[in-house]
Structures are given as structure tokens and as C-alpha cells.
Amino acid sequence: MFASLCTPACAGFVIAAPAKVNLYLELLGKRPDGYHDLETLIVCVNLFDTLEIQPARELSLGCNLPGMPTDAKNLVLKAAIALRAAAGIGAGATIYLTKRIPHEAGLGGGSSDAAAALFALNRMWKIGLNDTELKAVAGAVGSDVPSYLAGAASWCTGRGEIAEPAEVPPLHLVIVKPAVGLSTAEVYQSVRAGSVSDGASNPTLTLPALTKPLFNRLQAAAFALQPLVERVYDRFRECDPLGVLLSGSGSSVFAVARDAADAKRIARQYAALGDPTDRVYAVRTCR
């Protein structure tokens, strides 16, 4: 996927980092390391951040959003440091991140940015890590960072770091990000212990037929923590989409449309029902 989103620019690269939604997310139980084992189907959509990367003596990160961390707390810089350590080199880069994917939205912007940086820097620094090696570095940066290196759609297990390419038909979606955000850690901690799966089933999804319904084990916990997110869900259901679901740990909710025209209709209808502070995006899945 990133090969088609990465463009040479002088001696460096400009690369787009897509948002994602989770079409399915089940928790299988808590691990000794404190994470949850899970199963999730992730698809990337054409809502993008952009990274501009150029060679430099030192490693530095800038961002268009005031207040966004630009030290190793940011997954982009964390990824660059991890890749440099894995390769045993001291190369530098100036990275400028233009954020468009909302924060605390369950859309995976930070993880996608990190994966994009790994892909581009692996090329720019001529390290030559293969996909498996690059995924290993990505897994140490963040649980869902490897999913973006698996392709435009991926089936993820473990704590999310085991990512395999998945076949998903093209989909048109409408995403709404309300004014509130949700903490991933708080949502996971709020899931009722008895509500996780026993791991006995390994469901498959066939879209658009949807032999398994859209599902997110985190949805009830997210709604309980932030009722405004549940109101977004309820308004979406009034717009007659094929399905509605929380993405990841939220706070974004998405609706599945029948086609591009239906997505525009749903977006218009939701805008008439929703709060003016809601951000509404009509998107399609990446190829």
C-alpha cells in the first residue's frame, strides 16, 4: 500500500499515511503483559496525514498542529529512532508531519504515521529491511503499527501486532468524529471482564454480504464513558446505512454506505441531524 502513497521529493520522500476503521474487533482475554489478546479486521481509508522526509545530520520532527509532541512521545520519532537502532546506523532526517486525521478518534492516525515513517526511512536510508523485518520493528513501536505495513486491509491478532493481509471488497463509508475524544487505555479498562470472548470462535467476515455483522467489543464501554458518542451512533442509524459501528476505541463512529452516492446522502443527512461541531468525512477504502 505505502509503495503507491510514497513519492520521491529531492533526496527524500513525501508519503501519505491513511486513517483506518475496524470492521470487527473482539477481545479474547487479558495477557500477562497487561494487554488484551484480540482479533480485529482493519481497513485503511482515504483520509490522510502527510509526512515530508528529507536527509539531515540530526533526527528531528515538526508538525502543523500546535501542542502536538515532536519528541520521542510522538510515534513518528519513536519509529525513526527504533529503525535507526535496528539498522545500527546514525543517519538523520528532518520530518514534517501534516495532521488531518483526528486525535483520540479510533482512526489510528499516530500508528499510521509511524508505519509511513518506517516505510519511507527504510528506503531513504537504504537499510533494505524486508516486510517481515520492518513489521518486527513496527511491533516494538506500537501494537497496531504493523497492520499498516500488511496492506490496505489486514486481519490482526495477538495484541494487534500480528498482521496478515486480508481481502475486503471496496467500501464507501461515512465517518463522524464528535468534539469529544476517548482514551484507548480508559476504554479497554472499562470493558466488563465477563464480556470478552473465550476464544472458541475465529469469525470470518465476507463483505459486502456481511455474513458476520459489524462488531466491536469496545463499543459498549466507549458509550458508557462518553454518551455523546452513543448519540452519534443513534443519529447515524436514522440515516439508513447498511451498518454503523464505533471504530477502534473511539470516539469516531462510521457508517457503511451502499455506494459513493449513498455515502454523500448519508453525510448530508447526518449533517442535518448532528452537532455542528461534529467532523463528517465521506471516504472509501484504500486499494
234 is catalytic: no
Cβ atoms of 18 and 48 within 8 Å: the answer is yes
User: What cell does 142 get?
Assistant: 506500537
Query: Mapping DSSP to helix (H, G, I), strand (E, B) and coil, where does residue 248 land?
Result: coil
pLDDT of residue 202: 42
Matching fold, domains 2-165 and 172-284? no
DSSP state of 276: T
pLDDT of residue 196: 58
pLDDT of residue 197: 53
Name which of 218, 101, 108 is nearest 154 in CA terms.
108
HSE (side-chain half, CA atoms, 13 Å) at 110: 18
Q: Which residue has the cell 468534539?
A: 179
pLDDT of residue 179: 95
Does domain 2-165 fall under CATH 3.30.230.10? My reply is yes
pLDDT of residue 31: 81
Which of 144, 177, 262, 278 is catalytic? The answer is: 144
Instruction: Return d(Cα 54, Cα 143) in angstroms, integer.
Output: 27
Per residue of the chain (287 residues), what is the pLDDT tens digit?
999 999 999 899 999 999 999 999 999 988 887 778 899 999 999 999 999 999 999 999 999 999 999 999 999 999 999 999 999 999 999 999 999 999 999 999 999 999 999 999 999 999 999 999 999 999 999 999 999 999 999 999 998 999 999 989 999 999 999 999 999 999 999 997 656 554 444 444 344 444 456 899 999 999 999 999 999 999 999 999 999 999 999 999 999 999 999 999 999 999 999 899 999 999 999 98
pLDDT of residue 144: 93
pLDDT of residue 195: 63
pLDDT of residue 149: 97
Instruction: Return d(Cα 192, Cα 194) in angstroms, integer.
Output: 5
pLDDT of residue 206: 43
Name the E strands within the chain.
Answer: 6-9, 12-30, 36-56, 59-63, 92-98, 153-157, 162-165, 172-177, 215-216, 243-246, 253-257, 279-284
pLDDT of residue 62: 97
Which of 20, 78, 135, 177 is catalytic? The answer is: 20
Beta bridge partners of 174: 255, 282
pLDDT of residue 182: 95
Domain ranges of the chain: 2-165, 172-284
Characterize the bridge pairing of strands 253-257 and 243-246. Answer: antiparallel
In CATH, the architecture of 172-284 is 2-Layer Sandwich (3.30)
73 is catalytic: no
In the sheet where 172-177 sits, what is the strand order? 243-246, 253-257, 172-177, 279-284
pLDDT of residue 210: 43
pLDDT of residue 193: 61
Label residues 236-249 b or e (16+ Cβ within 10 Å = b): beebebbbbbbbbb
pLDDT of residue 265: 98
